[in-house]
Amino acid sequence: MNIRISLSVNGESCELLVPVHKTLLEVLREDLDLIGTKHGCELGECGTCTVLVDGAPVLSCIALPADLQEREITTVEGMADGARLRCRRAGGITYDH
């Protein structure tokens, strides 16, 4: 079963249709091509997959995107100059705030 989600990642909003069980880590890497967020244990133990949600650290391997709608997600790419969300390439819709 797929779910439509609306995320704000690195300052840009994006709407995607993803499987309901897909983690934030998978959406960032596979759907948005933000591969700076790394796979590690995928058990919520190592911290390799950490992103910021409203400025607080969250383990993206155990977070579901549907729970993070309307919150600001920042990846390592969002901390770099010139970072761009690749939502359009993933077939999603982007729009500025």
Contact positions vs ligand FES (CB under 6 A)? 39-42, 44-49, 59, 61
Closer CB to ligand FES, residue 33 or residue 45? Answer: 45
Closer CB to ligand FES, residue 22 or residue 92? Answer: 22
Residue 5 gets the label, from left (phi > 0), alpha (psi -120 to 50) or beta, of beta
Residue 10 gets the label, from left (phi > 0), alpha (psi -120 to 50) or beta, of left
Distance CA 8, CA 94 (A): 9
Closer CB to ligand FES, residue 19 or residue 47? Answer: 47
